[in-house]
Amino acid sequence: MSNNSTSLGLYCHVPFCASTCDFCAFYQEKPRRGDLDRYLDAMNLEFALLPKDRAVETVFWGGGTPGLLAAKDLERLGRNMLDRLVQPPVEWSIEMAPSTVKADKLAVLKDMGVTRISMGVQSFHPGLLDSLGRLHNPKQIYKAWELIQEAGFPQTNLDLIFAIPNQSLEQWEQDINKAADLGPNHISTYCLTFEEDTALYVKLAKGQIRIDEEREVRFYENGWQQLESLGYQQYEISNFARPGSACLHNLNTWRMQEWIGCGPSSASQYEGERYQRPANLDHWINGMLSGDPLKEEKLILDDRILFTDSVVFGLRMDEGIHLEKLSGRFPGAGNMEKLHCLVDRLVREKLLYKEAANYRLSGKGKLLADAIGSEVIEAMDAT
């Protein structure tokens, strides 16, 4: 695992949000006075730990709301990061909420070499945005998009959410059409989930809203068909791109290569370990200042773990998995008898297609991807 033949990604977590969306389970907080400076200083300490003999191919800034930082702070963070990289990354994405997009920020990002702006639109319907607790309105989406277009980034992504309570299929169709009309080369679509400790989860627990799985299936299927007909190829269950515009950073992660996370709550998979930084600004900063940064939920990786995760995440991608190649890559993965039985059964049930030595989920299989992933883990744990 710890060899230089794998590609290396860098994820930077910007943990600040102006308010909390009703569905959000990410680590984020409202910045208090002085937090930003302390955060930027500690990020600089974390960047100093990046490998000095190995190039980072892809960078992703997520959050939180990275776009909440002022232009000068985005520049400080970006320049400090670039100073520590062996060479500029081939891809550099940043998430921006529509209400945070400003021309001066975009100019700084473009100048530093950012290649993709990913905007969390979620919906074009004001009522649905309200019910998600989002701060923006459709007018701000269009204004932000105009600025992004003017700045001229090579890649753009729009995030959409579906199966929102009270959302109709017609509204979902309209959201996709409106997103595609803007002409991004990438669209991500996420089924609304109800994570614990979110405002939506509380409503669910109180019986004010309910989950309807059959309804969710219709949203999935309609969305997939529509995006395909609009020229966006599904390359992962939630991700669609024009040719050549898939997000390399995410592909690197799903292919179980290596990545380093910087910032509170960021996860790393690097040099045979998987771990997370504390999801707390003060704990993370103290770790950085001590020179011995905290690694939480540390897992020593072995071939079996990486093989299993490669199958689980590989099946979510359109490219699917090649079991023999994966066994060759992770020779210590062990006995796979149960996995082969499972795969044969999934092929018989038409949830999985076998094309030469490659396995890919069928449409029906994609709808059951989470359950199939659990079965893969069970099969590998049982042998």
Residue from 9, 31, 64, 89 binding ligand SF4 (CB under 6 A): 64
Q: Of 63-71, 102-110, 232-240, 318-326, which part binds ligand SF4 (CB under 6 A)?
A: 63-71
Q: Of 57-65, 73-81, 237-245, 290-298, which part binds ligand SF4 (CB under 6 A)?
A: 57-65
Total residues binding ligand SF4 (CB under 6 A): 10
The rounded distance, in Å, linking the Cα atoms of 45 and 340 is 46
Residue from 6, 7, 58, 65 binding ligand SF4 (CB under 6 A): 65
Is residue 97 at the binding interface for ligand SF4, with CB under 6 A as the rule?
yes
- If we measure between CA atoms, which residue out of 6, 12, 55, 58 comes closest to residue 250? 58
Q: Which is nearer to ligand SF4, 99 or 239 (CB)?
A: 99
Q: Which is nearer to ligand SF4, 24 or 200 (CB)?
A: 24
The rounded distance, in Å, linking the Cα atoms of 97 and 121 is 7
Residue 121 CB, shortest distance to ligand SF4, in Å, is 12
Q: Of 13-21, 169-177, 182-190, 307-315, which part binds ligand SF4 (CB under 6 A)?
A: 13-21
Q: Which is nearer to ligand SF4, 59 or 97 (CB)?
A: 97
Which tokens belong to 21?
């969306």
Residue 23 neighbours by CB distance under 10 Å: 21
CB nearest ligand SF4: which residue?
A: 24
Q: In what order do the strands lie in the sheet with 358-361?
A: 321-322, 358-361, 352-355
Q: Name the residue with tokens 């744990």.
A: 381
Please give the C-alpha separations between residue 313 and each of 185, 277, 321, 366, 383, in angstroms, as whole numbers. 23, 23, 9, 12, 20
Residue 316 CB, shortest distance to ligand SF4, in Å, is 21
Evaluate whether 345 touches 379 at the Cβ level (below 8 Å). Answer: no
Q: Which is nearer to ligand SF4, 24 or 333 (CB)?
A: 24
Q: Which is nearer to ligand SF4, 30 or 72 (CB)?
A: 30
Residue 286 CB, shortest distance to ligand SF4, in Å, is 23
Q: What is the residue type of 266?
A: S
Q: Where are the beta strands (DSSP E) in the chain?
A: 8-14, 58-63, 91-96, 116-122, 155-162, 186-191, 233-236, 239-241, 258-262, 267-270, 273-276, 296-300, 321-322, 352-355, 358-361
Tally of CA atoms within 13 A in the half-sphere of 18 that contains its CB:
12
Q: Which is nearer to ligand SF4, 7 or 65 (CB)?
A: 65
Contact mark string toward ligand SF4, 16..45, x via CB under 6 A:
-x--xx--x-x-x-----------------
Question: Residues in the site for ligand SF4, rule: CB under 6 A?
Answer: 17, 20-21, 24, 26, 28, 63-65, 97
